[in-house]
């Protein structure tokens, strides 16, 4: 085997390994669509008995905006990090539970592949109350 052929084969192997490493990196990134998401969807850690803590916030979303087909809903507490609540389709209404500690000021964010990002107004929620977000008119209000 000559030196030129050996060098060519080494370069080919390096390219092949580099391509595999890049593909693995891209696959890892594709599994997490939003880098701001730092926790699992709210409500997944609830106890089997169905009890809610004093910090539980019920979030109801009514998705009536026909310009946004599927909407991924996030909550942004004033003193926290944006957290994914779940996904809802146009024409649906869903409720989510979120553990809200400290300051009870929140804003909801909806991200749609077809129409971008929609942010609700911020709202301070009294203890024991929930929120209702009417997506079509972007209205966030307290629900008791």
* pLDDT exceeds cutoff 50 at 47: no
Domain annotation covers residue 127 = yes
Domain annotation covers residue 37 = no
Same domain, 70 and 137: yes
Same domain, 133 and 84: yes
- CA angle at residue 69 from 62 to 63, to 5 degrees? 5
pLDDT at 101: 82
Q: 3-class SS at 89?
A: strand
pLDDT in tens, 9-39: 567 777 765 676 665 555 555 444 444 444 4
Domain annotation covers residue 42 = no
Element (H, E) at 36: none
CATH code of residue 78: 2.60.40.2890
Beta strand pairing call for 130-134 and 56-62: parallel
Number of domains in the chain: 2
Domain coverage including residue 133: 56-143
- CB of 34 within 8 A of CB of 48? no
Report d(CA 140, CA 118) in Å as an integer.
Answer: 12
pLDDT in tens, 52-111: 678 899 999 999 988 888 999 999 999 889 999 999 999 999 999 999 888 889 999 999
Q: Is the pTM of this model over 0.75?
A: no
């Amino acid at each position: 085997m000559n030196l030129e052929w050996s060098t060519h084969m080494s370069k080919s192997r390096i390219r092949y390994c580099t391509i595999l490493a890049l593909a693995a990196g891209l696959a890892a990134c594709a599994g997490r669509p939003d880098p701001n998401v730092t926790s699992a969807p709210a409500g997944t850690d609830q106890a089997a008995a169905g009890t809610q803590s004093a910090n539980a916030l019920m979030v109801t979303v009514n998705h009536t905006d026909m310009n946004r087909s599927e909407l991924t809903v996030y909550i942004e507490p004033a003193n926290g990090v944006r957290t994914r609540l779940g996904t809802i389709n146009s024409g649906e209404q869903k409720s989510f539970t979120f553990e809200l500690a400290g300051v009870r000021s929140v804003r909801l964010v909806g991200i749609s592949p077809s129409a971008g990002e929609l942010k609700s107004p911020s709202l301070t929620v009294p203890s024991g109350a929930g929120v209702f977000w009417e997506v079509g008119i972007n209205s966030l209000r307290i629900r008791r």
